[in-house]
Each structure stands twice: as structure tokens, then as C-alpha cells.
Amino acid sequence: MKYGFAQRVRYMQSSAVRDILKVVNKGEVISFAGGLPDEDMFPVEAMRNAFHKALTAGDNKALQYGETEGHRPLRECLANRMKLKGIQRSSDHVLVTSGSQQAIDLFARVMFNPGDIVLTENPTYLAALQVFESYEVRVVPVVSDDDGMDLEDLEDKVKRLKPKCVYVVPTFSNPEGKMWSLERRKSLLNIAKKHQVVIFEDDPYGDIQFEGQGSYTPIAALDDENKYVLYTSTFSKTVAPALRIGWIVGPFQMIRMMAQAKQATDLHTNTLSQVAMVNLMNDFDLDGHIESLCHAYKERMLVMKDLLDSIQLEGLDYVEPRGGMFFWVRMPSHVNTAALLPQAVEKGVAFVPGSPFYVSNANESTLRLNFTHAKPELIEEGMRRLVAVINETRETVFPS
């Protein structure tokens, strides 16, 4: 039997890198590859209480079918949290999603016809590219520097290509870990207004800050009219990924349309976990917990940074992340990091080569390192292994 799959499945192939990393998860390898929080830091006791409370409420509503838009009290809590970030929206403008990955998918589903254009950074979040491609969207990269997109290239492409959307991860981005300047944020919004383009602001990492909370302004907070920006975030990095609770806020018309699309995809997000999240926010110091996460992850970032600094290799370059979960490392241009990965895995350490994050013109000498999952001791050991591999490479690539 030959199955006649849809054309879009050609964008759903597993990558060679993923196959290598599948092996990694089973062995003694120290992995800096995934984007995982440390499970030992999950607020497990508070979650136990939150679920117990949800399961002793008496009316069992937490176990019944729920509204597609999300559990109303959770939407209200989320609207309040958004206000603390300067995003003034009512709970009617909030859609609870099954992780922020689903927010990207639902947005694409209601927005794109085949051939539509999206502008993105380059590199950008790999799984967003996969979603866009599965809707046969044309993804066009915009030139960027450490402060965000290049405004000239952006406006030129907006004018010329008439994209439906500009997709950005402006805060501690994946994979680059960088932070857009306020000026670039404002300018992106102005360009979007001028040319009537929607901005999709993907912000899963915004709460993982190393310079105190509140050090950035979401682009959505600048959009006073609530017309141009869809903003998505998640509890996957701050509470626990397993719950698959994300949310998206934006113009009512788009949120409503995405809710209608969600109804066909999974009816609604796990109600019990939504009720438990409300309990957690009411009964537990979530912000205190996030603060201790930031403290611990910053320490791990610094351990990794020290070992990166110890590498004596001309052309190796990185920007110290001010939040988030990743170092983005540029190796000397002769090094192909995809070719380096099998050697690294053999030595007991893994990373993600940078190429798959690029829309085009991939810099094959880049790699991404996660510093949140491994404990500081393991980061040290893993980085020592990585340094050894890089040093060997140097001997091969740059024989003295």
C-alpha cells in the first residue's frame, strides 16, 4: 500500500541532526543541545498542592470539557500578568494554547495561504520555520545585527514583498540569545503600522532575566491600539513544560479566529492543568520562584562563559546572554559545526549546529549551547570535553 500523503509533508522530514541527538538522549553524553529547563527546579510541591486542590473542588469541573478560549480564571490571571509587562489587554484578548508552539501553528493556520510571505530574523526559531513551511509560506530573512533587524532592509522588504507578517523573537532569542534595543522595537512597530503588517512577537524566554525583572519592553506593550501585535508566551520555561500551557494575546478579531481554528485541532487545552495553574498563581509565590530560577540559570551561564573564554581560538566569538537559555557561538569560519557534532558526541558532549536555524545563507560555523538543563558541575565537565574537541579541531584545521 502506497500512501498518498499531502504535499505539505515534504516539510515534515526528520533531520540528520535530530537523529544524532536522539542517540544523545540515551547515553552518557552531557547535552547542551535541547532547550530544556532543569527538572530539579520545577516547583513540584506547589504543583502537587495545586493539582490536589483542583481535584478536591467538589464540582469536578476541572475534569470536564472546557471552553476553547481557555479556562476563564486563567485568562484573567494571564491578562493581569500581561499588564505587569505593560501589555494592557482584557481577558477577552487572551487565548490559552497547548504550549506557545500551538500559538504559532494556529496563527499560521488562520493567516496564510500558500505563497504568502513572512519576514523573519536569520537565524530564528527552528520550529516556527517548520510551521511556516508546512503552510507553504515563503519565509524571507531580514538582515539583523545585535540590536535587532536592520530597519532599512526591513522596510525595503516590507514595501517590495508585502509580507503578511513579521515574525520576531526579540527578547533573549532562540537561537542567538540576543535582546533587541527599544529603538528597534519602536521602529518595527512604526513600519508595521505604516504598511499595515502584523507583527508576531514570540516571547518564551522574557521572564528568564539576568539583570533584574522589567528590563525590556515587549513590542506588544508599544501597540496601544492593540491592532498590530500578536504576543505569545508560555509557562514551559518558568513552571513546567509538561503542562503544555501557553497563551497568545492580540487583536480580538484574530484571537477569535484562532479560537475557532483551535476548536477543530484539539477542542481546548487540558482543563485540569489550567485550573492547577490558577491555583499555583494564587497560592504560590511564582515571581519569587522565577527570581530564584534566574539566579540559578545566570550562575550556570557564567560557568559556561568562563570555559568559553578559556578557549584560545582566534575567530571564536559570542555575545554574553542577558537572559534566556542559550549561548550562540561563532566558530572560526573553517569549522563546520555539523561535522564537529559526531566528534563531540564521541567525547561525551552534545550541542546543536547552527545551520538548521537559518532561513538561508547559513553560517555553518555556528552552534547553540543550552546552559539551563545541566547542573554547574556538569556544565564544567561538558565544557571541558567540548574545549578538548575544539582544540583538536584547531590542530587539524589550523596546524601550527
> Shortest Cβ distance from residue 376 to a copy of itself (Å)?
18
User: How open is the CA angle 195-148-354, to the nearest 5 degrees?
Assistant: 120
Given the complex with a copy of itself, which of 44 and 339 has the nearer CB atom?
A: 44
117-120 and 165-168 strand pairing:
parallel
Given the complex with a copy of itself, which of 185 and 244 has the nearer CB atom?
A: 244
Distances (CA, A) of 219 to 112, 307, 348, 350: 22, 34, 41, 34
Residue in the structure block whose three cell numbers are 504598511: 195
In the 8-state DSSP scheme, what is residue 268? S
- Using CA of residue 253, residue 279, residue 209, residue 377, what is the dihedral sign? negative
> Shortest Cβ distance from residue 268 to a copy of itself (Å)?
7
Given the complex with a copy of itself, which of 265 and 292 has the nearer CB atom?
A: 265
- Report CA Rg, the chain: 21
> Shortest Cβ distance from residue 86 to a copy of itself (Å)?
21
Helices 72-84, 271-283: axis angle to 10 degrees equals: 50
State the CB neighbour count (10 A cutoff) for residue 116: 17
> Shortest Cβ distance from residue 393 to a copy of itself (Å)?
30
Given the complex with a copy of itself, which of 13 and 361 has the nearer CB atom?
A: 13
Angstrom distance (rounded) from CA 32 to CA 340: 14
Angstrom distance (rounded) from CA 390 to CA 335: 9
Angstrom distance (rounded) from CA 37 to CA 238: 8
Given the complex with a copy of itself, which of 80 and 263 has the nearer CB atom?
A: 263
DSSP E strands in 91-151: the ranges are 94-97, 117-120, 138-141, 144-145, 148-149
> Shortest Cβ distance from residue 232 to a copy of itself (Å)?
13
> Shortest Cβ distance from residue 101 to a copy of itself (Å)?
5
Given the complex with a copy of itself, which of 43 and 390 has the nearer CB atom?
A: 43
Given the complex with a copy of itself, which of 269 and 365 has the nearer CB atom?
A: 269
Give the residue from 326, 373, 342 showing the smallest Cα distance to 126: 326
> Shortest Cβ distance from residue 257 to a copy of itself (Å)?
6
> Shortest Cβ distance from residue 356 to a copy of itself (Å)?
14
Angstrom distance (rounded) from CA 236 to CA 391: 36
Given the complex with a copy of itself, which of 245 and 383 has the nearer CB atom?
A: 245
> Shortest Cβ distance from residue 9 to a copy of itself (Å)?
5
- DSSP string covering 85-107: TT----GGGEEEESHHHHHHHHH
Given the complex with a copy of itself, which of 131 and 389 has the nearer CB atom?
A: 131
Angstrom distance (rounded) from CA 261 to CA 247: 15
